[in-house]
Structure 1
Amino acid sequence: MPMMRSLILNGLIGRFRAVAKDRQAAAAVELALAMPALCLFIFGIIQVGYALWVQNALDYSVATAARCASLNLTGSSCVGNTSQVTTYAAAQSGATVDSSAFTYTRTAACGCQVSASYTLALDIPWDALSVTLTSSSCVAPPPTKTCAT
């Protein structure tokens, strides 16, 4: 009986060594192990780039809207009430940011202030993460003008 057990063990060990020495599928296994991490890394870079783009769009739109509100030019699309200034800011953003994300304050100490707060949902699998992007700009009107009402 011990002789039979020894032959079976030697046969199993021999087969295991043969499988261990076989390198035909090594590249496929390595790819299967590395690909999820690589894909998540690339997807993370894309998400960070998108967040930076939206932040830049918010910065540009609040600066443009504050400047336009401070000039208070007749016939301008941002002159008028608060909703016109925030709608103008949303139109200038270039991103899909709703006008409700913008606030306009004409009585700020620094002049005409436009602020934005936008919650960006990150498309990360298995987790519902979001980041809040904020931006603010304040422009003093020229001496002969007042901020849009």
Structure 2
Amino acid sequence: MPLITALLSGLLFGLGLIISGMTNPQKVLAFLDITGQWDPSLAFVMIGAIPVMALAYWFMRDRSSTCLQQEVQIPANRKLDAKLVTGAVLFGIGWGLVGYCPGPALASLLTGLISPLIFSLAMVAGMLVYRILARWME
């Protein structure tokens, strides 16, 4: 049952990304271009998503398991450290350069276009490089 729920959740999430325009890098780049032809429409996606997630977080904050008996994993670490800031900066640079972030890029793989494939391969390569560097620096 958890596998089916995960599949359905992923499909719903992907559909939401497609409907909202988050899988269109030109729309995302237009949203990020506040000094040019700014397209504020993706702000409505965030305005709609933030309250939904806040409600879900509030509802689950004191629970130890979900209705499917899966462990609730809410991070205990709330510190801003160099790893978090560096990751956020790299995420923002990548998003601003190409208009993709991980979820929309993966959903866009089904389009058959080369750009989400290149982004996804670069993302996986970056994760592998991070793992190697993290072990090396321990």
**Is TM (by shorter chain) over 0.5?**
no
TM-score (norm 1): 0.27
TM-score (norm 2): 0.28
Task: Tell which has more relative contact order, 1 or 2 (C-alpha 8 A, sep 6+).
Answer: 2
Please identify which structure carries the higher strand content. Answer: 1
Tell which structure's C-alpha radius of gyration is larger: 1
